[in-house]
Structure 1
Amino acid sequence: MNRSAKRRLRTVALAVAVCLSTPVVADEVDLFELSLEQLSEFRLTTMSRKAQRVGDLAAAAYVVTGEEIMRSGVTSIPEALRMVPGIQVARISSNRWAISARGFSERFANKLLVLVDGRSIYTPLFSGVMWESQDLMLEDVERIEVIRGPGAALWGANAVNGVINIVTRSAADTQGTLVSTRAGTEERGAVAVRHGGELKDGGHYRVYGKVQARDASVLAQESEARDGQRDQRIGFRLDRPLSGGAAFTLSGDAYNARSGDEWELPQLAAAPYSYSRRMDQHDTGADLLGRVTWRTDDGAESALQAYLDQARTNFGWLSAARADFDVDFQQRRQFGRNDLIWGLGYHWTSDHFSENRPYVVSPASRTRDTFSAFIHEEFALSPERWRLIVGSKFEHDSYAGFNWQPNLRVLWTPTRSEAAWAAISRSVRSPARPEFQSSLDLFAEEVPGLPLSLPALARLNSVDAADFTAEKAISMEAGFRQSLGNDLSWDVALYLTRYSDVRSERTASVECPADVVLLPSPIPIGSIGGCPAGFLPNYLLVNSYINNAGRFSARGIEVSADWRVSDWWRLQGSWSHQRMSADPQSDALATSEAERYIGSTPRYQLSLRSSMNLAGKRQLDLWLRHVSRLRHGDIPAYTTLDARYAWQVRKGLELSLVGQNLLEDQHQEFKSSLPDMPYYRIERGVYARAEWRW
């Protein structure tokens, strides 16, 4: 621990001491006070777009509660997602993440849809989520609902392998003032302030602000990396009742984040034909969401939601900006024992890219329209026993054309504490514009087999790739969950997914570049890549292109269990195992990409959490995780241990000490290839935290 870190810890300790005299309010409900049977009554909305208890879902569903987030000691949403069985979470660097469900893990995982209160944070710029700019105030998160497996029948394209919905607390549940601070070795420092109040008309509001800084990680060569992060975020939420039992919600956020990174870029001057370039990334953005819910006299429940979202990312020499508008309407009606829900939607996106090598998108600006409709009906085949759920979403995208995404699910509940289910679904992943209107210099390396060594620049061209279409997936799933009294519950899910029309790369041609420098060859040679015979080019250009030739399959099992050992001790465990395979490829570039897809997903993961309420209003939480080896990047298997000790000094004031990655000084978790980044090592860290409310 360096001197500055020690000073930060002393500062937090002093702040805590000063606040011991602060008046506070009542604590939140402790989940230890609820039985597992009561926890199973939690209502989720992500799977069916309606409030439904976990035990009645015909899907692999999991909930991470707000209290579990705080007790785990995590400081970000990506870390909290490690608690979900079957979700692959790997830290690439201090501020970059690779998060996916059931395979295809990469920094921009394109088959996982992520929502915040129903607002998509999946960016069409890069086909994924920029987690480094989604630093929510964790104290405001009520729960994270996770559906592993396809959710496209209700949520549309890109919900191929899963849907994550981060649900924040209502304004009524965040009344009063909250201040939290932390400082440590890797978590350099953070301060979050929130205040909630009541409006004269019976509504409630909250406002918040947050600043934080993270230390840089370490490169594989033991040198300090340049991937630290600093960000600021502000936001508000307003909840107001309307006449006739209707309700209105308005919320908004704005953020400003700066982070460092390094990319390995191609260059032709000399071997090894690449250089490391520092990327000073600057992310800014803002969003505004409004939602109205109401119920008519005939019992129909309706909801209308609209949001605006704009974001800009600047890497210095490369920048990208987007603006989104989305409107969504849904209505639920019950006909006897049957339950029908339908809806309409429209999404508009405008984007702009800078045009600089090695990454060029042309044209630089374009808009995209998506029209959608869905219908789902749940049939009660036998009261309280058998249910059939059938439905589909229909979308027309100005990029991918028309797609339909149906699913069929069956649920059997022999008792209220047992449920078995099975499902078959079709889903699609809509292409991002850079995938068919861009040119990217991938890498440079020596060309084997030539009389003299020559560098070759590999360029991936997708400009005017009119034949590139949406990826498809057919998923078959089955699962069983059971609660054994109030003390033990367990859940198992199995799946098999076959992917077709997956993005793939193919070598097109080798050519003599227009800017080539020709030198007389010291030995007799013929034409190389179309260059004049007898001359040696200083480099060659290898053109490749994107198509939909990839075919993959993934199969796996996910198991989780929750055991209340006693009224003060809780154990939660999960284990997941997955295998991926690909059809044989005839092209070396395509084979390399397929190996990257398969090798970036761990074969198995194991998690065990222990939560203890000790005497004297103290808590001890331990979290052990093991992740198997990744073939891509040759990342070795690793085991980590996190620990948290908390003490409620007085009503509303809590102090805690958290240690992360305690078993090793540092370890690797992932090697990013898009973009190509160096090997980062994640370090052991310790931080202190104080939270008080009044």
Structure 2
Amino acid sequence: MHFLALGHNLLAEKKLRIHSNYSGKRFYRRAGCAALLFSLLHQVAMAGGGEESIFLDDVPVVLSASRLSQPINEAPVAVTIIDRQMIKDSGAWDLSEVFRLVPGMYVAYHADPYFSADSTVAYHGMVTTTTSDRMQVLIDGRSVYASLFGGVNWSDLPIVLDDIERIEVIRGPDSASYGANSYSGVINIITRHPAETQGKTMSVAFGKGRKEGIFRYGGQSGALSYRLTASIREDQGEDDRIKKPTSVFTFWNLNKYDNKTIHNLNLRADYQLNSADTMEFQFGYNGGPREVGEYGNVSAISRRAENHFEMLHWRRALEAGGELSVQAFHTVERVYARLKDSDGVSDGDAILRRYDLEVQHTFSPFTNARLVWGGSIRYDQTYAPYYLGVGDNQYLYGDFPYHLRRFFGNLEWRARPDLVFNVGGMIENNTYTGTDTTPRFAVNWHVQPGHTLRLSHSRATRSPSVYEKTYDSYWRSPEFYPGLPEMQTERVKSTELGYIGKYGKFDVDFRLFYDDYSQLIDVRNKRSAAGGNLNAGTAIMRGYELQLKAQLTDKTRLIYGLSGGGVKSDNVNGVIYSDSLPKYSHSLMLSHRVNDQWSGSLVAYQVAQTKFNSTDYNPRENRGYFIDANRRLDGKLSYQFKLDGKAAELSVIAQNLADARYFEYRHDNELPGRAVRLNFKLDM
């Protein structure tokens, strides 16, 4: 209950920013129930003691939380691990769909109608744009957070699901480790080592509006191992017409233009230079024609994506488990587009370039301690005249530069066998908002073998996107609006109390969180456009998350996620943050292997009604701020066999088994109906 008292005190400090008629009684009842559940779990933990060691052999290890390799019960933040088997059993088609299994994550299929016709993946609600720009996303430590609008264009990533080893999702702010834009959480996608993907593999998939072919070859020559993956995908996206429209008007009867063809090529090569040094090289390409837009609004006459990256990563193993590493990467994202809007036909080309260099050193400064520290520099260039609104203005036309410099560190100290401290932070300087410091403190107490409590407090920031900064610098410049405050970073203070435990066959992860947001940016609302403070938004978010994983038998696995909470805000400038976190969301995956040939899985999702920032609010046409609650059921059945002595697998995957017709994010964004596809995979 100490955590609830702390939350009450913090709220009192902010009461002048919240509506005077706000009453937290309903939240405290829900939080009280969550605290009671936590208390019961703790009693279970205390009752489950034994003579075993404090450190259990079967505790998963995470790599991303603090940049140190740590058992998950000693990480300073909550982490969800999505392993290869979870990805496979989920039956996901898009990478974005996998994150529906993460407690607190909101996923909306192809929600963005304007720039990329892509899905929205957002942690902890407060989604004011489809790009969901408050979460950092990495692939093997390489940031794919887009500079133009923020967020991630999931379909433009040069990666296929079968090349992913695991995904670590940091549930909570982590600017202490990954800097600005790790504001609400971090997703780190870790690919498979080439040594684990040797030989030739082919797979094909086809079904309702979907086709895909993948070929992978892995080889080895002495100390060099490599993997080359090529794929082509055709995706017809949403149904052309909305089955249950909210209005008789044509605009609300037609879905977005979201058909796409995706070509992927990915190379990873790892070379063991000697006993201590390893060199890793990666190259990736993603391209192809993409539809974008919607009826009666901005749409593409033609649009094509062309993206590629190159990354080089050198590692040296040091004594006592230390490591020195240098990583450099270069990314180019290109869009070639002819767009049709109310002004006629426009040039929608965009080019985003990124150059990044990072050095990291891990060592033990003294007994029972480990320290990781390092720094990085980044340079971004953004060219997007249409989307930034600069058009043919010669003064504005051209690349928008962005410089970033960072210094980070995290100290892990084992004060006692049962008590671990993590203290760290990031000092960051960027072109747009200057210098920020984001510290974190966490303590993990192994109460009994297999049962751990975690208390942490951190601060995090989000820097403006290029779009936001351009709006602030040019369209609200002092020449036109003297005396306006300059745009600053968004800020959050986050406190959490967590429990990680093992009871019988169940791995339990439970947390209470309290997040205090300030200086929230909005440039899209008319009330803030001319003379308002673009950093005027504030919000208080409180809630709980529960994650259960259980190997019920040697053939049956259960994974369950639950989250809930609430958001209260002064909703300044008409930006609706209040109640933008679903009061509850569930996910449940049950997988079972019948024998060596047959296996199957069922996955269920349920999300409460969710409020979004006036994306299509119109009470006259029965469209409020809330998107109705929804349920979805997916299933997969697989058969493994031999074909000419080679391992083969045939799967039938059905998404949205009940053919549910519901909306995500907007009242004109209807999830596709039942979609069945066949997948055949052969090791050649």
- SS in structure 1 opposite 2:658? coil
- SS in structure 1 opposite 2:293? strand
Matched with 1:129 is: 152
Q: Which has the larger radius of gyration?
A: 1
Among residues 471, 480, 500, which one is paired with 2:499 in the alignment?
480
1:644 and 1:429 map into 2 onto residues whose CA distance is: 39
Matched with 2:672 is: 682
Establish whether residue 577 from structure 1 lines up as the match of residue 577 from structure 2: no
Judge conservation of contact 2:634–2:656 (CA < 8 Å) in 1: yes
1:507 and 1:215 map into 2 onto residues whose CA distance is: 32
Aligned-residue offset at 1:358: 6.2
Amino acid across the alignment from 1:433: V
Matched with 1:654 is: 649
Distance 1:92 1:137, change over 3 A: closer
Matched with 1:635 is: 627
Please list the CA deviations of residues 626-663 of structure 1 after superposition, one character each: whole Å capped at 9, or x if unmatched.
Answer: 01112335421111000000000225200000000111
Please list the CA deviations of residues 105-127 of structure 1 after superposition, one character each: whole Å capped at 9, or x if unmatched.
Answer: 24211210000000001011111
Among residues 418, 422, 426, which one is paired with 1:389 in the alignment?
422
- SS in structure 1 opposite 2:86? helix
Matched with 1:331 is: 361
Amino acid across the alignment from 2:538: R
Establish whether residue 620 from structure 1 lines up as the match of residue 600 from structure 2: yes
Distance 1:386 1:546, change over 3 A: same
Aligned-residue offset at 1:224: 6.0
2:357 and 2:555 map into 1 onto residues whose CA distance is: 46
2:527 and 2:134 map into 1 onto residues whose CA distance is: 31
Identity %: 24
Matched with 1:561 is: 548
2:595 and 2:525 map into 1 onto residues whose CA distance is: 66
Amino acid across the alignment from 1:639: R
Establish whether residue 343 from structure 1 lines up as the match of residue 382 from structure 2: no
Aligned-residue offset at 1:351: 1.2
Please list the CA deviations of residues 337-388 of structure 1 after superposition, one character each: whole Å capped at 9, or x if unmatched.
Answer: 0111110110111111224796769454221111110121112111x21111
Length-normalised TM-score, structure 2: 0.80
Matched with 1:213 is: 234
Among residues 161, 167, 173, which one is paired with 2:190 in the alignment?
167
Among residues 348, 353, 378, which one is paired with 2:412 in the alignment?
378
2:110 and 2:653 map into 1 onto residues whose CA distance is: 21
- SS in structure 2 opposite 1:153? helix
Please list the CA deviations of residues 450-473 of structure 1 after superposition, one character each: whole Å capped at 9, or x if unmatched.
Answer: xxxxxxxxxx94456771011111
Superposition pairs for residues 124-163 of structure 1, below 5 Å?
Answer: 124-134=147-157, 136-163=159-186
Matched with 2:219 is: 197
1:506 and 1:204 map into 2 onto residues whose CA distance is: 49
Among residues 654, 657, 661, which one is paired with 1:666 in the alignment?
661
1:294 and 1:608 map into 2 onto residues whose CA distance is: 41
Judge conservation of contact 1:435–1:462 (CA < 8 Å) in 2: no
Amino acid across the alignment from 1:427: A
Distance 1:654 1:558, change over 3 A: same
Distance 1:196 1:601, change over 3 A: same
2:166 and 2:320 map into 1 onto residues whose CA distance is: 32
Amino acid across the alignment from 1:204: S
Superposition pairs for residues 174-185 of structure 1, below 5 Å?
Answer: 174-185=197-208
Among residues 516, 536, 540, which one is paired with 1:549 in the alignment?
536
Please list the CA deviations of residues 137-169 of structure 1 after superposition, one character each: whole Å capped at 9, or x if unmatched.
Answer: 111100000110011101111101101000000
Aligned-residue offset at 1:49: 1.0
- SS in structure 2 opposite 1:41? coil
Distance 1:665 1:364, change over 3 A: same
Judge conservation of contact 1:462–1:546 (CA < 8 Å) in 2: no
Amino acid across the alignment from 1:189: K
Amino acid across the alignment from 2:545: E
1:355 and 1:226 map into 2 onto residues whose CA distance is: 19
2:349 and 2:314 map into 1 onto residues whose CA distance is: 36
- SS in structure 2 opposite 1:437? helix
Matched with 2:402 is: 368
Please list the CA deviations of residues 585-616 of structure 1 after superposition, one character each: whole Å capped at 9, or x if unmatched.
Answer: 3xxxx11x2x1x44554221111111010135
Superposition pairs for residues 447-526 of structure 1, below 5 Å?
Answer: 461-463=475-477, 467-485=486-504, 487-505=505-523
Judge conservation of contact 2:66–2:76 (CA < 8 Å) in 1: no
- SS in structure 2 opposite 1:325? strand
Amino acid across the alignment from 1:322: L
Matched with 1:313 is: 335
Superposition pairs for residues 42-81 of structure 1, below 5 Å?
Answer: 42-81=60-99
Among residues 120, 126, 129, which one is paired with 1:98 in the alignment?
120
1:584 and 1:569 map into 2 onto residues whose CA distance is: 47
Amino acid across the alignment from 1:472: R
Distance 1:654 1:356, change over 3 A: closer
Judge conservation of contact 2:200–2:217 (CA < 8 Å) in 1: yes
Judge conservation of contact 2:661–2:670 (CA < 8 Å) in 1: no
Aligned-residue offset at 1:100: 1.2
Distance 1:668 1:682, change over 3 A: farther
1:428 and 1:118 map into 2 onto residues whose CA distance is: 19
1:397 and 1:161 map into 2 onto residues whose CA distance is: 20
2:525 and 2:176 map into 1 onto residues whose CA distance is: 36
Amino acid across the alignment from 2:267: F
Aligned-residue offset at 1:72: 1.3
Please list the CA deviations of residues 459-508 of structure 1 after superposition, one character each: whole Å capped at 9, or x if unmatched.
Answer: x94456771011111000110011124x2111101111111111135988
2:472 and 2:175 map into 1 onto residues whose CA distance is: 30
Amino acid across the alignment from 1:210: S
Judge conservation of contact 1:77–1:135 (CA < 8 Å) in 2: no
Computed over aligned residues only, the root mean square deviation of the Cα atoms, in angstroms, reads 2.6
Judge conservation of contact 1:193–1:209 (CA < 8 Å) in 2: yes
Aligned-residue offset at 1:680: 3.6
Amino acid across the alignment from 1:647: Y
1:277 and 1:295 map into 2 onto residues whose CA distance is: 53
Matched with 2:276 is: 245
Amino acid across the alignment from 1:120: S
Amino acid across the alignment from 1:215: Q
- SS in structure 2 opposite 1:667? coil
1:134 and 1:685 map into 2 onto residues whose CA distance is: 23
Size of the alignment, in residue pairs? Answer: 582
Amino acid across the alignment from 1:212: R
Length-normalised TM-score, structure 1: 0.79
Amino acid across the alignment from 2:678: A
Matched with 2:6 is: none
Judge conservation of contact 2:476–2:530 (CA < 8 Å) in 1: no
Judge conservation of contact 2:539–2:578 (CA < 8 Å) in 1: no
Judge conservation of contact 2:632–2:660 (CA < 8 Å) in 1: no
Judge conservation of contact 1:469–1:548 (CA < 8 Å) in 2: yes
Distance 1:194 1:363, change over 3 A: same
Amino acid across the alignment from 1:151: D
Amino acid across the alignment from 1:419: T
User: Please, which moves more after superposition, 240-249 or 358-367?
Assistant: 358-367
Judge conservation of contact 1:436–1:463 (CA < 8 Å) in 2: no
Aligned-residue offset at 1:207: 0.7
- SS in structure 2 opposite 1:349? strand
Amino acid across the alignment from 2:299: R
Distance 1:61 1:40, change over 3 A: farther
User: Please, which moves more after superposition, 494-503 or 562-571?
Assistant: 562-571
Aligned-residue offset at 1:570: 1.6
Distance 1:109 1:224, change over 3 A: closer
Aligned-residue offset at 1:547: 1.4
Establish whether residue 260 from structure 1 lines up as the match of residue 274 from structure 2: no
